[in-house]
Amino acid sequence: MHGFGVLADPMNIVYMFVGITLGVLIGVLPGLGGANGVAILLPLTFSMSPTSAIIMLSCIYWGALFGGAITSVLFNIPGEPWSVATTFDGHPMAQQGRAGEALTAAFTSSFLGAFVAVVLITFLAPLIAKFALKFGPAEFFAVQLLTFCSFVGMGKESPFKVLTAMMLGFALAAVGLDTVTGQLRMTFGSVELLRGFDFLIAVIGLFGIGEILLTMEEGLAFKGKSAKINSKVVLETWKQLPRYWATAVRGAIVGCWMGITPGGATPASFMSYGLAKRFSKNGAKFGTGEMEGVVAPETAAHAAGTSALLPMLTLGIPGSPTAAVLLGGLLIWGLQPGPLLFVEQKEFVWGLIASMYLGNVVGLIVVLTTVPLFASILRIPFSIIAPIIIVICAVGAYTVHNAFMDIAVMLVFGVLGYIFKKLSYPLAPLVLALVLGDMAESSFRQAMLLSQGDLSIFWSNPLVGTIVTLALTMLFWPVISLAITRLRPRQATKPAVSLK
């Protein structure tokens, strides 16, 4: 209730609407994205109060989650990575003249997924925060290790590629001043590199410029279906949606799990789509325009995107690239994410959680009423949109430290992002390592100082021992699962041989 009281400030309501509208626009435009949109606009919020700033930025995030579905359904262009699975059935529905149904189903499913995740945050965040007060350097490093290992072992990408991206992120995070010894590392005599690589500039380059370069190479031309949503279509679609309650519940569970353990919205959407296809009566028809094929990925993507804020607020560990950008914002505003945030900054935390409830409702209303307007944006030639996005990125990078050097660094990261995408290397582990690299290193070194170099500190109590063991299990999960599958056929053939 206190959180809704904070939200009652008229300016916070205005920031919420502005954030949602900007977020939908970012979601619609391929080349921008949730993480990059928040990163570009983060410097503009430095003059606001932290509560107003985080409300606006989190609403940009909701809007981007909603907006990604518009281009997926109408144009078969995923506005966001997690919208790829929505194109499988969403675009065929649009081609059949059912674009209104597909978009209504997508937005409503997104709303439900986010609502479940916000309820989870409301009731679990204080419990996790109390539990996290028991955490010392060893425990914090164990949780960060779990984050990195889950990316390697549980991700869809090749473990080698994930490790390569992560190691590059660690190397880039190490540039600058060593916080423990005060020595310079990998600065090569450059004064500009003393402060290291700012993750914000890296994110703008990797996500924004990298995507633009790739799109320019492909010569993308926007071709889409027109869409009109009226109350009749919305009500008819809402009558059909209760049939898919099991798919929505499954998607919400998968999404919340993948958001809290940092799998992310993209794997969650694919996993939910795959499960829906397996359990559905119409599984064989998936890919031809099944509404269930839109409900599954959208529910999971929103649940994952929202629940990723839970570990960010309670433990200071982001569950997604956008949460990682928001984490950087909290640090810039002088707020230390973690269990004490709920004690020292109650107004901030509960104001943010209240904004999630209201922002989700506002987001649903905004997208249902403005689809034709946002769809018309994609009829502007890409040759006009691309330079505008690049200018916005450059302004965003410059305003971080008011240094032209940062624009050059952003362009270098843009080329790196382009190369990564061409070679199918994941960007999320690189961003994660860049953001968490310093924190993980300082936690590890503090733990080593406490134990005088004895690694057994990571098994010194049941809490840290369980987390480290789980992290190592996740790291080697591909090898473990391969061993299990090889053993199963042998066990199956043994009885047949003995009977013979």
Using the structure block, give the residue that is written with the tokens 């063991």: 469
Q: Cβ(291)–Cβ(89) under 8 Å?
A: yes
Distance, C-alpha 436 to centroid of its chain:
15
3-state helix, strand, coil in the chain (%, to 5): 80, 0, 20
Interatomic CA distance for residues 176 and 185, integer angstroms: 5
pLDDT tens, per residue, the chain with 500 residues: 777 777 777 888 888 888 888 888 877 765 566 677 777 777 777 778 877 887 888 888 778 777 777 777 776 666 666 677 787 888 788 777 777 788 888 888 888 888 888 888 888 777 766 666 677 788 878 877 877 787 676 656 677 888 888 899 888 888 887 777 777 887 777 776 777 777 767 877 876 777 778 777 776 554 445 555 667 777 777 887 788 888 888 888 888 877 776 556 777 787 788 778 777 777 677 777 788 888 888 888 888 888 877 777 777 777 667 777 777 777 777 777 777 777 777 777 788 888 888 888 888 888 888 766 765 655 677 777 778 778 877 876 777 677 788 888 889 988 998 898 888 887 777 877 887 787 788 888 888 888 888 888 888 888 888 888 888 887 887 788 788 888 876 554 555 544 44
Q: Is 303 helix (H, G, I), strand (E, B) or coil?
A: helix
Q: Cβ(291)–Cβ(93) under 8 Å?
A: yes
Determine the length of the chain.
500
Using the structure block, give the residue that is written with the tokens 């370069």: 213
Going from the C-alpha of 420 to that of each of 169, 210, 214, 224, 397, the distances in angstroms are 13, 9, 10, 28, 21
Using the structure block, give the residue that is written with the tokens 């993507």: 301
Interatomic CA distance for residues 195 and 184, integer angstroms: 10
Interatomic CA distance for residues 279 and 254, integer angstroms: 14
- For 31, list phi and psi in degrees, rounded to 5: 110, -30
